[in-house]
Structure formats: structure tokens, C-alpha cells
């Protein structure tokens, strides 16, 4: 009798073991990101270009990560993007569930040793970037500053509208003036890009140093149509896709004697090649990082994403960095000899003074 009672128990245990093994195999086969949520941190306040790009990626990226995780966008502004970068590097778990829409120029803060920077941007795991936004200089056509040669000959130096002395446009215009041998007068204190535009319209400034994607927002399309402004110079070496091809690059006009300053400028505005960069935490396992990188590249070919990207950030669908390429670009840009770091410090100190 006991033998008959034991058989059902034996078979029950066997069934449970087989079920457990099958469940374990199913769990192992289930994608890591299935049922999970990725936190997309945005390094700026709502409404700016970084916020727009971050939320755009948050809407589309999950479709191309195996398991299709939910992605929630969260703004974490502070110290020009450094607060969120510090959080990603030092507080966020290295589990592949946090992505940061990085402030593109923050690496400069690390290079000059700003004390608020508590991370090495080279050690972030870079997911990818889309869009290029090279710099340019444009001036009112009714001013005597419609070319570099005219700037050199002008009785009074061109007045550049600026937000402040720490802005990259301030630094860029100073470097271009040094490379191409003309003088600049800065008119600072404007609170926004639109206020600088109004300053040009009121005659308070003659010129602006800004990125080429400025052309897509008002009043620039109207200005172009009406012939209100002249495009004087563009960053280069590759020409902008939105500026007239006749606009010379700094590389084309720079004398051989300015090679060192030209190289310095390329380091300081390297971010124009990776206009919308995204990264995840240091220490994220390789397999999870690769899922994010692959998903990011696939997202860039999504038809709906392309339409939105063209409308929101004027991305042409062509210029982008893969995660691996962006990792190398950041490493190469940030790793500079001491004399270059000292020169960058001097330039930024001059702009802050």
C-alpha cells in the first residue's frame, strides 16, 4: 500500500521540477528590458533644444530595444548640465536603466578643472548622438561687416551680440577674430537668443556668432528671404548643409601661422559634431550597453522619428555618431596635453573676466 501512495508524490515532484526548469528557461529567454522602465534624464530645463531632443528620443527609442521598455523623461537641470552628469556617473545604478541627454559642451568644464565636475566624461558609456550644428558668423547686410576683409578694414570693429562672456559664441567669435586677424567688440547682457536677434534689429549689434540650425527658427527664415543678413564665415572644415555653399570656412581663410589656434578652436567647439549626445552610466554591462547602442541606431532610421527630428531639430537624417564612434570622439577630445589645457583655461578665464 505504501508503494502506491509514493508514486503520486514522486510524479508530482517530477512535474514541479520540470515546470520549474521550464519556467527558468523561459525567464532566461525573456529580454532583459521586458517590463522595465528606462529613466531618460534631461540635463536642462523644459523647452530648450536638449529637452526637445531628449523627449524625442524617449518617445521612440523603446521600440528598438528588445523587450520594448517604457521610457520616462525627467528634467534634471543645474550648473549648466553638470548636476545631471554627476548624478549619472556617481548615483544612478549601472544597470542600463538610466540614460542622460547630455549638455553637449560639458566636457570643457572637466578639461579646465571646474570643481563642480565630479566625473570623467570619458568614462561614461556613450549611446550615440544625432545632428551636427557647426558655428557661423552672420552680420546685418547694412553694416560695414559683410566679409572678413571688410571687418579688417572697418573703422570700428563689428559689434557682436552675446548673452555673456562665458558663452561659447563669445569664445568662438574671439577665436575666429584671432585666427583671421580682425577685432571684435562684444555687446553682452542679452537674456536669450531672441533678445540678441532683437538687438540686431534695433541696431545695438552688427553680428552674431551662432550655430547654423539657428536658421530654422524665426526671424531667420524671413531675414534670409529679405536679404537682411550676410553670412560671413562658417566653421568648417566640412561645409554646412543649410548655409549657402559660397560662405567660406575658417579653414579656407586661415593662414598657416594660425594653425595652433585653429586646432584649439576645433577642440573647444568639437561638440558641434555631436549636437545631441546621449550616455548611460559607467559600469553598465557590455551586453546591455550594446542593446542601447543598437536600439539608438535603429531609431535613427524610423520614418516617424525622422519626420519629427526634421521638424523639431532640423536633423537631415544623415549626420550622427554611433555609440562606439562617439566614445572615441570624447576620448580624443578630452585627452589633451598640458599646454593645450592651459591655453583653454586662459581663454575661458579671459571670457569670464
pTM of this structure: 0.79
* Cα distances (Å, whole numbers) of residue 111 to 88, 118, 128, 208: 18, 12, 21, 26
Say what the alpha-carbon torsion angle 118, 45, 35, 69 is, to the nearest 10 degrees. -90
3-state secondary structure of 249: strand
3-state secondary structure of 10: helix
Rounded Cα distance between 306 and 303, Å, is 5
H helix or E strand, kind and range, residue 229: strand 229-234
User: What is the DSSP code (8-state) at residue 175?
Assistant: H
Rounded Cα distance between 115 and 109, Å, is 9
List the grid coordinates of 246: 559660397
User: Is the CB of residue 62 less than 8 Å from the CB of residue 68?
Assistant: yes
List the grid coordinates of 188: 553682452
Domains of the chain: 37-131+275-352 (3.40.190.150), 135-270 (3.40.190.10)
C-alpha distance across the termini of the chain, in Å: 97
- pLDDT by residue for the chain (353 residues), tens digit each? 444 445 555 555 544 555 554 444 444 568 999 999 999 999 988 887 889 999 999 999 999 999 999 999 999 998 888 999 999 999 999 999 999 999 888 898 899 898 999 999 999 999 999 988 899 999 999 999 999 999 999 999 999 998 777 677 888 998 999 999 999 999 988 877 888 999 999 999 999 999 888 887 789 999 999 999 999 999 999 899 889 999 999 999 999 999 999 999 999 889 888 989 999 999 999 999 999 999 999 999 999 999 999 888 888 788 899 999 999 999 999 999 999 999 988 877 665 55
Say what the alpha-carbon torsion angle 52, 53, 59, 61 is, to the nearest 10 degrees. -170
- Contacts with 121 (C-beta within 8 Å, 6 or more apart), sequence order: 85, 106, 107, 110, 330, 334
DSSP string, 135-193: EEEEEETTSS-SSHHHHHH-SSPPEEE-S-TTSHHHHHHHHHHHHHT---EEE---SSH
Cα–Cα nearest to 200, from 222, 182, 181: 222
Q: At what angle do helices 49-60 and 303-313 cross, to 10 degrees?
A: 170
Amino acid at each position: 500500500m505504501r508503494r502506491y501512495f509514493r508514486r503520486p508524490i514522486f510524479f508530482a515532484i517530477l512535474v514541479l521540477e520540470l515546470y520549474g526548469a521550464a519556467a527558468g528557461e523561459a525567464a532566461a529567454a525573456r529580454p532583459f528590458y521586458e517590463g522595465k522602465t528606462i529613466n531618460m534624464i534631461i540635463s536642462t530645463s523644459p523647452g530648450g533644444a536638449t529637452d526637445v531632443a531628449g523627449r524625442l528620443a524617449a518617445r521612440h527609442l523603446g521600440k528598438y530595444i528588445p523587450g520594448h521598455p517604457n521610457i520616462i523623461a525627467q528634467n534634471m537641470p543645474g550648473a549648466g548640465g553638470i548636476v545631471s552628469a554627476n548624478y549619472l556617473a556617481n548615483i544612478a545604478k549601472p544597470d542600463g536603466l538610466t540614460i542622460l541627454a547630455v549638455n553637449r559642451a560639458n566636457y570643457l568644464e572637466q578639461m579646465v578643472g571646474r570643481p563642480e565636475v565630479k566625473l570623467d566624461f570619458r568614462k561614461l558609456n556613450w549611446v550615440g548622438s544625432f545632428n551636427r550644428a557647426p558655428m557661423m558668423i552672420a552680420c546685418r547686410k547694412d553694416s560695414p561687416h559683410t566679409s572678413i576683409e571688410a571687418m579688417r578694414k572697418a573703422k570700428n570693429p563689428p559689434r557682436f551680440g552675446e548673452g555673456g562672456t562665458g558663452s561659447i559664441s563669445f569664445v568662438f567669435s574671439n577665436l575666429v577674430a584671432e585666427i583671421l586677424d580682425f577685432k571684435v567688440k562684444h555687446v553682452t547682457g542679452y537674456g536669450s537668443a531672441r533678445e540678441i536677434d532683437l538687438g540686431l534689429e534695433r541696431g545695438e549689434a552688427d553680428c552674431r556668432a551662432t550655430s547654423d540650425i539657428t536658421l530654422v527658427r524665426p526671424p531667420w527664415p524671413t531675414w534670409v528671404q529679405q536679404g537682411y543678413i550676410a553670412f560671413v564665415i562658417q566653421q568648417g572644415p566640412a561645409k554646412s548643409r543649410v548655409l549657402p555653399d559660397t560662405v567660406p570656412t575658417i579653414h579656407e581663410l586661415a593662414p598657416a601661422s594660425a594653425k595652433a589656434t585653429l586646432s584649439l578652436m576645433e577642440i573647444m567647439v568639437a561638440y558641434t559634431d555631436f549636437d545631441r549626445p546621449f550616455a548611460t552610466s559607467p559600469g553598465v554591462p557590455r551586453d546591455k550597453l550594446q542593446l542601447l547602442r543598437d536600439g539608438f541606431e535603429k531609431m535613427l532610421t524610423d520614418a516617424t522619428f525622422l519626420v519629427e527630428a526634421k521638424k523639431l531639430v532640423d536633423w537631415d537624417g544623415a549626420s550622427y555618431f554611433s555609440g562606439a564612434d562617439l566614445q572615441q570622439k570624447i576620448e580624443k577630445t578630452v585627452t589633451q596635453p598640458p599646454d593645450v589645457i592651459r591655453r583653454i583655461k586662459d581663454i575661458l578665464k579671459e571670457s569670464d573676466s
